[in-house]
Structure 1
Amino acid sequence: MTIIHIPRRGVLFGGLVAFLSGCAGKFRTYSGPKVTRLRLYKAQRLLVLDGADRVLRTYPIGLGFAPVGHKQFEGDGRTPEGSYVIDRRNPDSLFHLSIGISYPNEADIAFAESLGRSPGKDIFIHGGPRRGIDPTNVRDWTAGCISVTDPEIEEIYAMVSNGTPIDIYA
């Protein structure tokens, strides 16, 4: 039996290279037409990225585990309906990559508070979970977010800027 001796520095360097190469692959660049608006159709499970004069891309989506109706309270499993904007990005998301939606707005907050409840927060468009659930086989598994596949969120993350309007329809 031959024992191969690899210096500790080589093991650490190799591990670092593997880690960084895995992360680097999820960040794409996009140089096409600007995305001017997102439209999300809950009943059709469809996300549309619009440009100034045409549809740029469409994606099938998954929703919250209670997909019918507008999100009203924290923990209700619903996806919001209405007009919002993309307001943040999370490159370290537990769900590969994610972009945030500006839910709750003032009306959402006022409604929930009038009933002594929290409207919830942290609604994102994101990729699939790291393990346990395959979003391509389970349609509506999130807690109110919008899910796409990991390759799809990589495209969306590169194409959509903060401040882009999103309209979410029942």
Structure 2
Amino acid sequence: MKDGELDSVDRAILYHLQQDARRTSSNDIAEQLDLSPSTVRTRLNKLEESGIIRGYHVDIDYDLAGYPLYTKIICTAPVPERDTLATKAREVHGVTAVREIMTGKRNVYVNAIGKTHDDLNRIASELDELGLDIVDEQIIRDEYVCPYHGFLETDEAPDGDESDEESE
């Protein structure tokens, strides 16, 4: 598999995993795609080894977990330092996600949680000390993740051809 060259089977596997990776087994996916479980496991291993699947993440309701303040902190970082600062931001206690943005001045988005406003102030101060310029902070009510339906939008359809098994 070359970078960015997923066939319809790989895309369908990714789609099904995005729906609920924890409760979706290779057997479940195989049944949906009319493939053998070993073909799906082989494909999953390749997707993981290539870095396309970077991990399996839990979706947490932070409010129910006792962290009622969920915020997005929008920052500006000098472009040559953006990746370094984004990596350092991930180490700040309370930070749950960091996104690097390729365009504009608002080029680092940090998601963070806290129990109190003091927690959020501490996180903001630590980000500032790293060299990130905070330009906006937003309290998030909730965030929902959904599968990318584009993995299923193609002229190719999984055809149940299991020839990949024998060639791997």
Normalised by the length of structure 1, the TM-score is 0.24
More strand by share: 1
More helix by share: 2
Normalised by the length of structure 2, the TM-score is 0.24
